[in-house]
Structure 1
Amino acid sequence: MLVLLWGLRLELKKSLRTKKFWAVVIVMLLLYIPVLYAMKSVHPFGREFTASEIVSGLISVTLSLAKFFITILAIVLGATAINAEITEGTLRVALSKPISRLGYITGKLLGHLVALFAAIFAAVVVTIIGVTLMGVDVTGSLVSDVILLNLAILVAMLEFLALGYIISLFVKSTSTAIGIAIVLLFLVSLMSPILVDYFAHSKAEQLTREKFGPNWETMDYGVAPYVQYNQSMNGTRPYLERQHKSPYDYLNEQYNRIKRDYEKKYLFFDPITQLDYLLGNLSEKVHVTITNTTYYPMVQEGPMMVADYKHPIKTEVTNTTEKGYCKGATYSGGSTTKTINGTPVEEVHEMRCYTMDVYRGVGYSIKQNLDRLWVLIGVTLVYLGIAFYRFLRMDLR
């Protein structure tokens, strides 16, 4: 235990003293400023962000920034973890003391984990400050979500750290190891998803061609037939909806389905993809339909009956929420003249539909994607096993 604590303190001091560590953290935190400003000043659809949208948006930003910056930090820390000390001779000096190789590398790993957690925690603190500045109460559930978010990101970063250790144990030059680490990061988390995306799109095009024929791209579906339903989402007016899907709608559906399937099967080695799936249900799209109906009395003005807009009889407001995006137009309005209890009135109706994100929580998302968590843990253990085996058996001269 003393050996582990010694290794942890030593590595933690080294990590926190390096310029690259603080450069990455500071640049990441500075990027929150334009995000917070945008969320504070931009009003979508003429309204302010809801509390749910603020929390969902800021946690998504934290996740995005952490994935980019801390991923680079993790793999570079790992890629220079061992080889630099072998080259400088400090490793032999350390192992000349009553310290086992296993204790040494385990303490180093713990030190790196604490350093990464410090970087992630700094991002989370900024997130909580941002939520507070936006006027959202910091509740116990929000704090627990932040902790779970930390742990999920840390598991993914541990995989990159372990991959960096493998590079460090096979490449003696630190500069060469850093170069290989960046190239490997590029291949694993950028090129591989692009290739999977290409194959998914090609397969979706093939299925579309089989369904609609070889000339599906030239088919004119701009005036696809519509069907009128007798009742709308809010139960008040008829609305129009496409009766048939166009080839492009079908293509998008098949592409999204195939891409998700391919990413799960073939990108198990990419922590970023798996983390995206693990935290892919933080929020869900819902649409809120607000219908405002106002009744005005009809009064005689000369030879005509006109509505008295200064003295409304009553106003009815309905508010419905359903999953998914708005169906049909996001705004409609009009007026009709009718008789209520023998009295002529003008009915003026207005409908607005807003699509928004409803925050469901980190815990909810993890529960929905537990298989991705086990993939992350499993691949990380394999990488750590390779790194530990190599370190325990390699010649350190």
Structure 2
Amino acid sequence: VMIRFSSQTALFFLGILAIIFGAGAINKEIEDGTIRIALSKSVTRLGYILGKYSGQLVVFGVALLLTSFVTLAGLQWVGVSVSKITADVFLLNVLLLLTMLEFIAIGYIISTFVRSSGASLGVALGVFFILYVLLPTVVSYEMGKNLPENLSMEELNDYTANYYTKYLFYSPSAQFSVILDAVNEYKEVTKTIEINGETHTYRDYTAEYAGIGRAMRKRAVNVALLVVMTLVYLGIATWRFLRMDLR
């Protein structure tokens, strides 16, 4: 519960921050004229955009690394044993970093197509809303209409993962959620209840925490999508930047 709550909260706020960072990365420097000064030196356009992206990667990576240490120290301070979740905290932040890098790359596309830094901020927030809320809601609704009956909890998670992988492969937040849904391992149990003197049996489930590592292995395709789509988005932004008029 703690990992799910903290990761979803971090995904929302860091996702907004990441896409805004990316959306102002290029056009703001064109407006200020700093990009022309940088390119007047021995810096190519390709080196400039890749270097800028790498710098933001380092910033977010260091921030999440510090977050991991602070989280573990805080839990240890309040008396929670962290020996069993230390690896999971770091793996979770690696997963968050991959998701943030994809959001930054999406922001770079916005930054290279929308010349006004002010307008790109509004576009970035709109794109984030579409990717984080609107499209997953639409896909979940369509999935619900075609949902087979009598699925176990594990089968339901797998069915949802397949649907999100097929129709939301371009959404970093959707892929992150799919991976996180696999942290629990569900087992079916039969329970009995007595009603008006009659005994009835029903099917229930127990959830056992299996870890972030297990979730990433089970949803390896979704982890790969985070990496592949980041490269695709960054490739589109780079292609556009190499052809931009920087005047």
- Identify the TM-score tier after normalising by the shorter chain: 0.7 to 0.9
Equivalent residue for 2:246?
Answer: 396
Please state how far the C-alpha of 1:185 moved relative to its aligned partner: 1.0
**Alpha carbons 2:65, 2:93 under 8 Å: kept:** yes
Residues 325/270 of structure 1: CA separation in 2 closer, same or farther (3 Å cut): farther
Aligned amino acid, residue 41 of structure 2: K
**Alpha carbons 1:62, 1:123 under 8 Å: kept:** no
SS at match of 2:174: helix
**Aligned pairs for 1:262-341 within 5 A:** 262-285=163-186, 323-324=187-188, 327-329=191-193
Please, what TM-score do these two structures have when normalized by structure 2? Answer: 0.84
Equivalent residue for 1:169?
Answer: 112
1:144 matched to 2:45? The reply is no
* Counterpart-to-counterpart distance in 1, 2:68 and 2:6: 7
**Alpha carbons 2:157, 2:182 under 8 Å: kept:** no
Please state how far the C-alpha of 1:168 moved relative to its aligned partner: 0.2
Please state how far the C-alpha of 1:137 moved relative to its aligned partner: 2.9
Please, what TM-score do these two structures have when normalized by structure 1? Answer: 0.54
Equivalent residue for 1:202?
Answer: 145
Greater shift, 101-110 or 378-387, is seen at 101-110
Unmatched 5+ stretches in structure 1: 1-56, 209-248, 286-322, 330-354
Equivalent residue for 1:111?
Answer: 55
**Alpha carbons 2:4, 2:180 under 8 Å: kept:** no
Equivalent residue for 1:230?
Answer: none
Residues 178/326 of structure 1: CA separation in 2 closer, same or farther (3 Å cut): farther
* Counterpart-to-counterpart distance in 2, 1:67 and 1:174: 24
**Alpha carbons 2:24, 2:111 under 8 Å: kept:** yes
Equivalent residue for 1:90?
Answer: 34
**Aligned pairs for 1:23-172 within 5 A:** 57-139=1-83, 142-172=85-115
- Taking only aligned residues, the RMSD between alpha carbons, in angstroms, comes to 2.8
Aligned amino acid, residue 279 of structure 1: L
Where does structure 1 differ by over 6 angstroms across 4 or more consecutive aligned residues? 252-257
Q: For 1:86-132, what per-residue CA distance to the aligned partner results, in whole angstroms no more than 9, with x for missing partners?
A: 01101111111222222211221111112222443344334313431
SS at match of 1:328: strand
Higher relative CO (CA 8 A, sep ≥ 6), structure 1 or 2?
Answer: 2
Unmatched 5+ stretches in structure 2: 194-204
Please state how far the C-alpha of 1:154 moved relative to its aligned partner: 0.8
**How many pairs align?**
237
* Counterpart-to-counterpart distance in 1, 2:188 and 2:63: 35
SS at match of 1:280: helix
Please state how far the C-alpha of 1:193 moved relative to its aligned partner: 0.8
* Counterpart-to-counterpart distance in 2, 1:274 and 1:97: 40
* Counterpart-to-counterpart distance in 2, 1:377 and 1:180: 23
* Counterpart-to-counterpart distance in 2, 1:153 and 1:111: 17
Larger Rg: 1
**Alpha carbons 1:58, 1:131 under 8 Å: kept:** no
Please state how far the C-alpha of 1:283 moved relative to its aligned partner: 2.8
Which residue among 211, 216, 225 is the counterpart of 1:375? 225
* Counterpart-to-counterpart distance in 2, 1:120 and 1:356: 32
**Alpha carbons 1:201, 1:255 under 8 Å: kept:** no
* Counterpart-to-counterpart distance in 2, 1:114 and 1:81: 15
* Counterpart-to-counterpart distance in 2, 1:388 and 1:73: 21
The share of aligned pairs that are identical, in percent, is 41
**Alpha carbons 2:157, 2:181 under 8 Å: kept:** no
Which residue among 129, 133, 142 is the counterpart of 1:190? 133
SS at match of 2:185: strand
Aligned amino acid, residue 196 of structure 1: V
Q: For 1:6-41, what per-residue CA distance to the aligned partner results, in whole angstroms no more than 9, with x for missing partners?
A: xxxxxxxxxxxxxxxxxxxxxxxxxxxxxxxxxxxx
Q: For 1:61-103, what per-residue CA distance to the aligned partner results, in whole angstroms no more than 9, with x for missing partners?
A: 3311221111001000000000000011011111112222222
